[in-house]
Amino acid sequence: MSGRTDSARAITVIVTFFADLRRFLPRGADGPQRYMLSGNATIADLLAVIGIKPDADVTAAVDGELADRETVLHEGADVMLLSPMEGGAMDRFGYWNKILHVNLADRSTRIEEPGDAFFRRYAGGRGLIAHYLLKYVPKGADPLGPDNILVIAPGVITGAPVPGAGRHSVGAKSPLTGGFGESESGGYWGAELKRAGWDAIVFHGVSPTPVYLWINEGQVEFRDASHLWGKITGEVEDLILAELGDKLIRIAQIGPAGENLVRYACIANELNEVAGRTGMGAVMGSKRLKAIAVRGKTPVKIADQRGLLAMAKWVSGTMDEKHRAFHEFGTGAAMQGKSLEGGMPVLNYRLGAADTIAKVDAIAVRDEVRVRMGACYACSVRCKKVVHIEEREEAARAAAENVYKGRANVAFDPLGRYSVDPRYGGPEYESLAALGVNLGLDDLIAICKSNEMCNYLAMDTVSLGCTLAWAMECFEKGILTLEDTGGVPLRFRDADGVIKLVEMIAYRRGIGDLLAEGSQRAAQRLGRGSEAFLTTVKGMEMAMHDPRHMPVMRASYLLAPTGGDHMRQTSNRNGLRNQIGLCHFLAYEDDQSLQILKTVTGWDITPEEMVTTAHRGLTLARLFNLREGMSRADDRLPARFSDPLPKHAGLTRAQQDKIVTDYYVEQGWDAQTGVPTAETIRALELEADAVHAR
């Protein structure tokens, strides 16, 4: 806290800095900042305290309303400082009409300007990724070979200054499922790419040597990454920032897991945000592309800045009512309730409850290891946990004093085993469950450690945890033996064993080589009835929401184009958000999402067109999966979920079939085969894409 104060009438205001204005953040700070000012302070006074010149080209808003330099601030005022939003000068808003194609084989680039109709049709995310996969990836291509492409696709609202608009998707043919691969990430990287003037990047081919891409606004440079290859994400970030000399650069990168083609390697941005699912890090590794560094200084153009500010104001004004739990705990606050209801994945999805759950949920994280909450671009919800653990008590005390100035306690490991670096964030619900209770663990420090390792080695915590749970059940039943594992025991409830296995998998050492293939491939290789313990759909391990307990998850797992995905991408709501680049956690109603889309792009879009956009993305992904050999037989849960839990019945084949058929009909696909009908293809204007689906 800083500022000019008048002790009698001091007020505190909360200031959020957008984009380039982050350079005015106090050193080491992130997200909204508190400033103490005199009671009659104005915006001009605040700017002076921050160090911004009074005539700087900065737009200010107070409680969501535009404010001028003379606007008087009040106690608790929610101030936003933005770079100029240039509305009105051009008739294109939200996107630039610029897609960067990068050929890694010959190190050339080209710019595609596909036109406004293209962006209105695909919007971004899944729609855009599926379009390019159908167009450029030959049928049957090896996901880890030169014919696969890697697409990075924010949405048309990504980079707009409104909570939730910091998302980007990464897509390719998945090395885990052999079908449509895609994963979303938050943080700042996607917004930075948009601010650099790009709507998407499509990587083609394979680089002969390790390389990283440096995108500085419109300039694109290939840079040698030999010295970065083999390094963990934190080291790579430090080296690139030092090399390029700008601390505001944002970096998306793979870790050793991606280099070693672990089939569920992820792509990390800002070290603690990940495009986690479907093995996109392995595709990036197969292309010898270590990182993409981006710096963008051009604000995304907004059609109706007042309208957008009103949406931002709605989020901050309804925080208590709509987002308090998220703001307070992030994901994972409801784990005790889930366990009481018998729906918690425990010991490879067998039990539904754990009496140790309170030791490892988000409440325990807050009380024991968390030092603060972090945020994504433009988001006031701040739902991202940041944990800090030291091995020794003295080091923890020193960090609390020197780093946090007494504002946070720093935990230490009473067993002196592990430290956890706050740069790598903290465990979300999926990681707490997949690396914790589903492996029988109640050791919060070890769970935070394996989560940190997954971020610095860059691996998906869900697929990793589920693969370990599968292997542990095989070991428990004598299907996997010490002879198979090279003497490494694979036991539930063995926290230190999990830490060792995480590293073995990332570097494909010993039994880690088999487990790096993902549980389904490993089961196919092992045989011996081990398939019975799988928790995969279409080859991807299911997330930590048991469909026997949560009916709402059933369609998501059965029908998401990526396999065992819990994000309910199959719904119109989330399908649309994926494509436009809006976070699922924001409690916007559908008409508010529509409003955001309109205020950013200026499109005169109807609710019906919004639904059509979501259907288009899902149908394109379906076309890709069908072309790659998937069928109705792949829209099925693994055998485990036919078994009952103590408190929930198993799901019968007939129940699953009904969900699948109903969904096919809703999407306009053939009710039996799930093949999109000619009429649907026409209605969605996908004739050109469908040509590539044969």
Summarize as ranges the residues that interact with ligand SF4 (CB under 6 A). 163-164, 166, 186, 375-376, 379, 381-384, 583, 585-586
CB nearer ligand SF4, residue 164 or residue 547: 164
Give the pair of three-digit tokens for residue 200. 């998407």
Q: How far is the CB of 588 from ligand SF4 (least distance, A)?
A: 11
Pair 299, 195: CB distance under 8 Å? yes
Pair 257, 249: CB distance under 8 Å? no
Q: How far is the CB of 600 from ligand SF4 (least distance, A)?
A: 15
**DSSP assignment of 387-444:** E-EESSHHHHHHHHHHTSTTSS--EE-TTS---B-GGG----HHHHHHTTGGGT---H
How many C-beta neighbours within 10 Å does residue 486 have?
Answer: 12
Q: Where are the alpha helices (DSSP H) in 477-589?
A: 482-485, 495-506, 512-515, 519-526, 554-559, 572-580
Q: What is the DSSP letter of 256?
A: H
Q: What value, to the nearest 5°, has the Cα angle with vertex 505 and ends 433 and 167?
A: 55
Q: What are phi and psi of 372, to 5 degrees?
A: -170, 180
Q: Which helix (H) or strand (E) holds 117?
A: helix 116-122
Q: Which helix (H) or strand (E) holds 154?
A: strand 150-154
CB nearer ligand SF4, residue 49 or residue 335: 335
CB nearer ligand SF4, residue 133 or residue 376: 376
If you search the block for the tokens 């039994």, which residue do you land on? 511
CB nearer ligand SF4, residue 232 or residue 583: 583
Question: How far is CA 481 from its chain centroid?
Answer: 36
Q: How far is the CB of 273 from ligand SF4 (least distance, A)?
A: 8
Q: How far is the CB of 274 from ligand SF4 (least distance, A)?
A: 12
CB nearer ligand SF4, residue 365 or residue 523: 365
Q: How far is the CB of 76 from ligand SF4 (least distance, A)?
A: 20
| Single-letter code of the amino acid located at 32 | P
Q: How far is the CB of 384 from ligand SF4 (least distance, A)?
A: 5
How many C-beta neighbours within 10 Å does residue 229 have?
Answer: 18
Helix (H, G, I), strand (E, B) or coil at 203: strand
Q: How far is the CB of 17 from ligand SF4 (least distance, A)?
A: 15
CB nearer ligand SF4, residue 137 or residue 266: 266
* Longest alpha-carbon distance in the chain: 76
Distance of alpha carbon 323 from alpha carbon 330, whole angstroms: 10
Q: Where are the alpha helices (DSSP H) in 461-540?
A: 461-476, 482-485, 495-506, 512-515, 519-526
Helix (H, G, I), strand (E, B) or coil at 82: strand
Output the CA–CA distances (angstroms, integers) from residue 356 to 130, 480, 502, 545, 569, in the order listed.
43, 27, 23, 18, 32
Burial class (CB in 10 A: 0-12, 13-18, 19+), 464: buried
Pair 638, 564: CB distance under 8 Å? no
Q: How far is the CB of 47 from ligand SF4 (least distance, A)?
A: 26
Give the pair of three-digit tokens for residue 579. 């494509």
Q: How far is the CB of 308 from ligand SF4 (least distance, A)?
A: 15
CB nearer ligand SF4, residue 308 or residue 376: 376
Cα(first)–Cα(last) distance of the chain, in Å?
A: 61
CB nearer ligand SF4, residue 274 or residue 623: 274
Q: How far is the CB of 15 from ligand SF4 (least distance, A)?
A: 17
Q: How far is the CB of 120 from ligand SF4 (least distance, A)?
A: 24
CB nearer ligand SF4, residue 191 or residue 623: 191
Output the CA–CA distances (angstroms, integers) from residue 392 to 419, 420, 450, 495, 685, in the order listed.
8, 12, 18, 19, 62
CB nearer ligand SF4, residue 329 or residue 507: 329
Q: How far is the CB of 428 from ligand SF4 (least distance, A)?
A: 9
CB nearer ligand SF4, residue 158 or residue 278: 158
Q: How far is the CB of 285 from ligand SF4 (least distance, A)?
A: 26
Helix (H, G, I), strand (E, B) or coil at 80: strand
Distance of alpha carbon 359 from alpha carbon 85, whole angstroms: 46
How many C-beta neighbours within 10 Å does residue 686 have?
Answer: 22
Q: How far is the CB of 646 from ligand SF4 (least distance, A)?
A: 33
Question: Who's near 33: CB < 8 A, 6+ residues apart?
Answer: 14, 15, 16, 17, 25, 26
CB nearer ligand SF4, residue 16 or residue 595: 16
CB nearer ligand SF4, residue 198 or residue 329: 329
CB nearer ligand SF4, residue 186 or residue 352: 186
CB nearer ligand SF4, residue 163 or residue 171: 163
Q: How far is the CB of 191 from ligand SF4 (least distance, A)?
A: 10
